[in-house]
Each structure stands twice: as C-alpha cells, then as structure tokens.
Structure 1
C-alpha cells in the first residue's frame, strides 16, 4: 500500500493501524537545532486523544508519544525523527461481527475491491486513529513555524446546523470547551443538538476553520504546486474531510467580480488589501495576507441507529453498529487540520529558499 508519505523537503511517513500494537510517524528533513521536547508534541496529542468528553469515543488511550530518534538534548539533530504511540486500549472483538459486512460510508467495500482483503478491526489504516501520527508530526512543524513567528489557529466553526457567530468570536474560549468553538452561545446550542442526536443513536458533522497569520509571501509555485492546492490536498487527505474552501470558497460562485476582488491601498508605504476573499494566495502564491481555510467534516459513519447494508455473501441486511464511537468527529479533528496546514507550509518554506539567488547567497 502506497500513499502514506507527504511532502518533498519536510517529509513525513505515517504507519500503523487502529488496533495494531502501535502507530507512529517518521519525519525527514527537519532542520537541525530546533528546540523541541516530548511535552511539546504531547500537547497536541492530548487535544486529539479519545475519551475526554461526552462527545468523543470513550476509548481510553493516553496517546503518550515516545521519541525514538532525531532529537538529542532537547534539539533536533537534522536526522530522521521517529515518533511512536502505543495502542493500549484496543477492543478488537467489538469488530469481529463486522468482518464480513460492508458498513455504509466506511472504507470496507473500497479496500476489499482494491486489495482483496482488509483489516476489519476499527478500519485499520482507514481509521481516524491514524491521525494521531499526523498530530504528532504537525506539532514538530508548528514549532518550526513558531520560530518564524507564524501562528496557526483552528477551531470548530459549526456543528450540524449550529454555527459560531463571528461577532461572538473569543479566541481564548476555544481551548476552554470540549467542542473547541470560539462562541459560548453556540457551544450550548451545539451541546443540546448533539445530546439529541445521541439519544437517537445518530451523529453529526460540522466545519473547521483555520487561520494562518504572519505567513511570508512567496510560498507556492504556479500551476500544480500552488499553495492553496497543496493545502487542500493535505486537508482533504484527512479521512473525515469531504470538502475544503480557501478564502471565500464556494461563496465566490454567488459574488460578482466587483464584490469578490480584493482592492489594494498603499498604507504606510506598504500594499494592503481591503478584504481577503482570496484567502491569502494569488496565483497559488502567498502574498502576506492571512491564509483562510475551511474544512467540511462528515458525520461519524459508525452509528447505532439501524442502517441498510450488505455482506460478502450478497445478502441485504439491517445493521446497528455497537461499540465505542464519536458522536461527532469535528472537535478532535481541529488539531489535525492545524497539523496538515503546518506540515504543508513548512515544506513550502524550505522549498522557497531556492526560489531566488539572493536567498542562496544569504545562506551561503
């Protein structure tokens, strides 16, 4: 199975399964001398780990990261960084009854059609648990960005029909609620909505917004390696994400050119945009404005509410999925969206160092 490697100069390779012994990531291309510790990485893993709220799977995993290589005396050495997270609380028997069933909205059918067999224990590589490795790698990438004063902020923008009101935006509140929403009024409404779905054995989707501030200009290349294209690819690679918008996104389709165009003004000797419908890139290249990204996350497909399904014997069946599943994936995916954005941008920063002779001269 290919497809587990991301990046060109800052490259990651994730490995492991939901119900295997462990999962992890190897990071290749991280510059030497970056100050980082296991605690730095653990902070992001703690944001993603299960069992922390009424709206997450009760599976109890500490998700404790261990650094196997690439970091010595608190700094990166420039060699590959290997991180491992051991699975401690698998209950594979919960999935034994599903090994011959194709669950709706899961990878069961497509994996069988492609490979001829599949790991039915929690979906194997297709499980959302794989994103723990991404969060770990993203924590390293965010340390690189922080050293350059680049800040990434992601949060839950909506849960089902409940949307955070931009007028009530409170960045400090994001980390103070289970849903990672920036609006306390919306949190209460979202909690009521989710509790109603839980009573009906159902689940919810939602959206995640991500803002990148202080990003340098010049990241991304024309045509196929546009910054926004690579960000969309990275975020869309998260299994639960079904759509990505940059800037005004799909709203642009209903705007006129005059409404959508970001007008320029000189202010204090600098070129500034009056709006940011482009979302931080022009021609696929960053121009110094904030990068604005939104991801649409599907509802958790594993629900106890009875669904129509089929099995390998060619029978139509009625399926009710038992076990430990998230009634909503969105809050735990917030840090994963941050991670994928950070990984993409660090890779582009390193690649951009070779875009001009003056950059090479500055280094050498």
Structure 2
C-alpha cells in the first residue's frame, strides 16, 4: 500500500511522468513551525540533473504545501504537499509498451493489476520518493526540536570501490554533518577530465587516482564561469570519491550502471523506541529501507560481519552512566544502537545496499509480454548510479520511522519525557 505509520502516517501519490507527485501527512502535531523552506533542502539534494553522475532530467522539484498550516504553523490537520513534474518525456518509453524492461516492475505490475503506467515506471519509479522526502522534512524537524536528533547518510561504496576500513570506522564513530558530506564529497571536473577536490588535490579523470598536483584555490560557486563541472558524490572521503566518480563515468560512457552501499548514523535518538515483537526498531527501519526503489540489502551494527565475532567480542559491555542524562552507555556499539529491538541511546548505525540501475542504454536480448525474444534498448535519461541522490531518501525514511515510533512511545508513557544520551565525552 502507499501508507506508512501508525500515528505519524504518510501517504504518497503520483506517477513519474504524471502531473505531479506528493504526500499527505496525518498526525503532525499542532503548533509546529513549518514552511516550504523546512522541506525544500532535502528535495534539492535528491533532485535529478545535479551533475554528470546523475540523470539529466531537469526538474526543480519545488514543493508547495497545500494544507495543514496557517501563517507558517501546523494546525494538527493533515499536511498535503505536492511537487509538480516539469520535464516529462513519455515518448522515451514507447518501445516498452510491448516489452517489459529487464530489472523493472513493468512485468510484475502488468500481471498484478492487469495494467501498468505507460511511461517511466509510474509508482515503481524512484520519483515516487519525492513524497517520502517531503514528509521526512516534517519528521526530521520535529525530532530535532524534541530530542536534538540528527540523521546523516553517506556513500560508503560504489561497486568494488569502498571506503578504506579505517576511514569507514572513523566516520561511523564520529559521523560528518550533511554539509561536510556535501562539501567533502564534491569534485570539480576540469576540461581535460581530471578531478579536483575541495582541498585542491588533483586526480586522474580516467582512474580517479591522485596525481600529486594541487590546484591551490577554492572551489568556485559558479563552475560554468570557469568551464568546469561540479560533481556530487556524497562520499565524505575525497580520494575515494574521485575513484567512484571515475568509475561511474566509465560506466555511463559504456551505457552500463552500478550500485553501492549507503551508511547511516542517527545521533540523539531517545531510549525506548521500538515495539516488540513485530515492530522492533530495526525491523521498522529494514521495512522502510527495503521499500525504497532499488534496495536489496539492509544490515544494522556489525551486520553480516558480526558473525565472524565471538559473543565475548560482540557484546557491548556497559561502562557507566552518561553525565547529562544518567543513562547507561556502552564503550562499543556492535549492536548498532538497539537492544531487543528497542533503541538503547547509542548511535543507530545501519547500511543499505542499492542494486545497479536497471535502465541502461546497452542493447539487451529479452522477451516481449507475448514471450517473443526481442532486442531492447531502453531510452530516456537515467542515472548510471543513484547513490549520490539516494542519501536524502534514506535519511527521510529514517526520520519517518523514528518519528512514528517516538509518538507511539509518548502515547504509552504520557507526559514523561523521552531521554537521549547527550554527552559525547565517553565516545
């Protein structure tokens, strides 16, 4: 269904090449200051056409709040938001009316409903996630104001290119801010194809390997004036970002695609969220992440690597009480911020695996709906890798899950405030 949540309930609507996409959010508390400016930043981070690493579909993705607020304050009634589509190209999908695209939902939608959207995947398109990101903007603001909660997601792998292990561990322990992710993960591509990071270091355009050169200048705001292209990787480690960018561009030139891994850290999440046995916090997060397009894996804490450890190595031993909140804390966080399906107050750490983009421009031998083997070339403007645009999707769904669980817990305990670990002195 197109509805998520028990108290903070989100419904999304719209097709990828229809009039528009959006959401209706019920359960938003009254009195919350809310305008489009609170929602727009994440929509801007996920919008297409950001750089040569993403689809060149040109959409401003400007949100409008239709209901639920007055004079910039929520009324407690449903908040409706819409983003109107501007750059539809339905003719790009003419040859998919008789041939289902490999890796897409064309076939399963046709079999399930007896009809499918004629262009762009309809509800199965990643454009549906605009409604989630808009709703996530409300959830994030409420969590931040109530508990000081912060949610950050970055690209930790693209294909075989992964962050060095020591860097990955450092980032999970001391996560960067979104601004740091966006700035340190941004590259300039010079006219000769080489990359320059925010520190001025130069990398080969074909491999992303460092050249040892240094540009010695700031990254300009207006790259067009210096005939350079700004690329967003959202990998907060410049050397890895350059290699990732080079690999993605190689695949784009070849008409192919790749996937990768997103890492998320939530700080300041209150203790006690999660509803065992079936609505455990990691179960709700897993459901939310796996409902996003192209996701194929989810792990929390040490995840699959944890099976290599013994119990004595994996157990997070309690080490004392937090000075500010008097809550117990642990010196390690192998569990990833949950115990028994309930938030422990430690940072929530999880990773999401994203498959290679299904829409590729290579000719593929597949079969039509009639079962006849034919050759198909998928037209249109598609991402060779969606990772750089997917961070806001994961952050928004995380916020929606935690907001709903926090409201469920508050309904149980009444006026008793939910606590979170505030001190970082023991981390």
Q: Is 1:242–2:296 an aligned residue pair?
A: yes
Alignment of 1:338-357 (within 5 A): 338-356=395-413
- Could you tell me which residue of structure 2 aligns to residue 261 of structure 1? 315
Deviates more, 1:168-177 or 1:283-292: 168-177
- 5+ residue gaps, structure 2, are 187-231, 418-427
In structure 1, C-alpha distance between the alignment counterparts of 2:32 and 2:19, rounded to whole Å: 30
Alignment of 1:95-174 (within 5 A): 95-148=93-146, 149-165=148-164, 166-167=166-167, 169=171, 171=177, 172-174=179-181
Answer yes or no: is the 8 Å Cα contact 2:329–2:345 preserved in 1: no
Q: Deviations over 1:278-314 (max 9, x none)?
A: 1111110011101111100111100011222110222
- 5+ residue gaps, structure 1, are none
Q: Is 1:206–2:260 an aligned residue pair?
A: yes
Q: Which of 23, 26, 29 is the matching residue for 2:24?
A: 26
Q: Deviations over 1:109-134 (max 9, x none)?
A: 11111111111300000000001111
In structure 2, C-alpha distance between the alignment counterparts of 1:106 and 1:255, rounded to whole Å: 38
In structure 1, C-alpha distance between the alignment counterparts of 2:320 and 2:137, rounded to whole Å: 37
Answer yes or no: is the 8 Å Cα contact 1:155–1:174 preserved in 2: yes
In structure 2, C-alpha distance between the alignment counterparts of 1:125 and 1:71, rounded to whole Å: 27
Q: Which of 66, 69, 73 is the matching residue for 1:68?
A: 66
Deviates more, 1:293-302 or 1:315-324: 315-324
How well do the aligned residues superpose, as a CA RMSD in angstroms? 1.5
Q: Is 1:314–2:371 an aligned residue pair?
A: yes
Deviation at 1:357, TM superposition (A): 6.0
Q: Deviations over 1:98-155 (max 9, x none)?
A: 1111111100111111111111300000000001111111111110111021111111
TM-score by length of 1: 0.95
Distance of aligned partners of 1:270 and 1:6 in 2 relative to their CA distance in 1, 3 Å threshold:
closer
- What SS does the corresponding residue of 2:411 show, helix, strand or coil? coil
Q: Is 1:285–2:342 an aligned residue pair?
A: yes
In structure 2, C-alpha distance between the alignment counterparts of 1:220 and 1:336, rounded to whole Å: 21
Deviation at 1:270, TM superposition (A): 4.9
Q: Deviations over 1:26-64 (max 9, x none)?
A: 000010111121011111100011011101110001111
- Could you tell me which residue of structure 2 aligns to residue 222 of structure 1? 276
In structure 2, C-alpha distance between the alignment counterparts of 1:218 and 1:353, rounded to whole Å: 10
TM-score by length of 2: 0.81
Deviation at 1:158, TM superposition (A): 1.0
Q: Which of 28, 48, 51 is the matching residue for 1:53?
A: 51
- Could you tell me which residue of structure 2 aligns to residue 299 of structure 1? 356
- Could you tell me which residue of structure 2 aligns to residue 175 of structure 1? 182
- Could you tell me which residue of structure 2 aligns to residue 9 of structure 1? 7
Deviates more, 1:263-272 or 1:302-311: 263-272
In structure 1, C-alpha distance between the alignment counterparts of 2:371 and 2:327, rounded to whole Å: 66
